[in-house]
Amino acid sequence: MVQWNKTALGIELGSTRIKAVLIGPDHAVLASGAHDWENRFEDGHWTYHLDDAWAGVQDAYAKMAAEVKEKYGETVTTIGALGFSAMMHGYLPFDAEGNQLAGFRTWRNTTTEQSAAALSELFHFNIPQRWSVAHLYQAILNGEAHTAKIDFLTTLAGYLHWKLTGRKVLGVGEASGMFPIDSETGTYDADMLAKFDAIVAPGTLKKPLVELLPEVLTAGDDAGFLTEEGAKLLDPTGALKPGVPMAPPEGDAGTGMAATNSVAERTGNVSAGTSVFAMIVLEKQLSTLYPEIDMVTTPSGKPVAMVHCNTCTSDLDAWVRLLGEMADAAGASLKKPQLYDLFYEKALAGDPDCGGLINYNYYSGEPVTGVDGGRPLFMRRPDAKLTLANFARVQLYSAMATLKLGMDILFDKENVKVDTLLGHGGLFKTPVVGQRLLAGALNVPVAVMETAGEGGPWGMAVLAAYRVNKEEGETLEAYLENKVFGGAKKTVEQPVEADVKGFAKFIADYRNGLAAEKAAVEALPMAAD
């Protein structure tokens, strides 16, 4: 029998999948449900329709509830705690009546170079292109009329939470990607807010920026309760009752930190799926501004250095699908997991430097390398060793390459220390391979926990559990270490010297070949451009 008052549900809207994960009092998964979705390229922006978001959330929830019914013979009518997370940041503006004023502009867009550069100079603080304030200021610079009507600006996670609770709030980790956070106060940096308001012409915005942004909460704070309207939005069958305590909504970066117990100093994690990002919890602030490094926070507000890259496995996925079609044509149909395992395992047999093969996996622009558009590109010298093993290895290497360039700044220029990186996401589903190659690429031990397959949705469920189960004065770091991960099993791959040297040779060619990738972006406009 399910102890419903001891359960917690995390729902995360990732780039290609919406997943609901229900956990019990021991934080183990009781049931889950998932829904696949894809972004669209419309009016010059990568976007998702909010109707599709709700349809996906309802489908993932319904599948989770159906699994509960099948496994335990019970109908979900209440939950101990609930939390929402989603792909980080982006731009979702609303007017005073709650009407959406512009299409959701996602993290994938690289259309805010002008505003991001201007704000970074104004604040002397790196403002990445995907941050909400960069999108807002770019809309102002573009003269978009809707900016004068904005009454509320939020992210996808903040929007969902608002509709379910009536509360306009965000967890500090996600809020730190809307606008810079002052780690001393735990909320938006007041000096930077004043600087922003000073450069905006009168009448451009109806309120000072701080009044347009969600209230900032830290992990464990009261973020409201599921309303009657919210319960019907989540579960149109009417079985779910209102009153469920809600955790502060977070981004997928924050839930990744929670899912890998990477919220204390000298810890770090790598989330590798459609996009890839590394998060290192700092012992001290960086010495200077780096355009390639984002400064965000843990869900409890500690400073974090983040290297974010827009594309990770999308190109690899496309090649695996192509090879699957070849197998089908040959009469040797393989299931998707079999295809991926074969491809990944073949990569381990490749030359450490990929035999001279080079690949750029860019489905969109990559600010870390200064590329403002996406054109997947595979190339080789005539004398390169074109084998399946080398091809598989170069696909995995290219998924890590841009991350490597950003991480080198932290390790080489700032002498940042991290004991082990925790990996989670699709890149690590096949045992050992992605883990070992990333260890070689970054020259850092890479660990994967048993919970890595659940990833962000499970991390959000854990944050929801912390919201209702924490003891007086118990920090998130202590809760995770003592109550969630105390007996967790993990595997650790140490860097292999041949892999370290091979990746170094590959990345040298990769740097030199970036000119060809940039030329491809100029030579081949997108069909919608």
What is the reported pLDDT for 451? Answer: 59
What is the reported pLDDT for 109? Answer: 87
What CATH number has the domain bearing residue 133?
Answer: 3.30.420.40
Residue 115 counted as domain residue: yes
Query: Residues 36-40: contacts with CB within 8 Å, 24+ apart?
Result: 39/15, 39/106, 39/108
Residue 114 counted as domain residue: yes
DSSP 245: B
Rounded to whole angstroms, how far apart are CA atoms 408 and 366? 16
177 in Cβ contact with 131 (< 8 Å) = yes
**How many domains, the chain?**
1
What is the reported pLDDT for 452? Answer: 55
130 in Cβ contact with 90 (< 8 Å) = yes
For residue 135, the enclosing domain spans 89-154+179-212
Q: Mean pLDDT of residues grouped by 10 in the chain (529 residues)?
A: 94 95 95 96 93 98 98 97 94 97 92 95 93 97 96 98 98 96 93 97 95 98 98 98 98 89 90 88 89 91 91 95 96 94 97 98 91 94 98 98 95 92 88 96 91 77 97 94 87 96 98 97 80
Q: What are φ and ψ of residue 50, in 5° steps?
A: -65, -30
Residue 323 counted as domain residue: no
Residue 194 counted as domain residue: yes
Rounded to whole angstroms, how far apart are CA atoms 436 and 443? 10
Residues 6+ apart with CB under 8 A from 282: 265, 302, 303, 304, 305, 416
261 forms beta bridges with none
What is the reported pLDDT for 487? Answer: 78
Give me the sign of the Cα torsion angle 322, 327, 333, 337.
negative
Residue 381 counted as domain residue: no
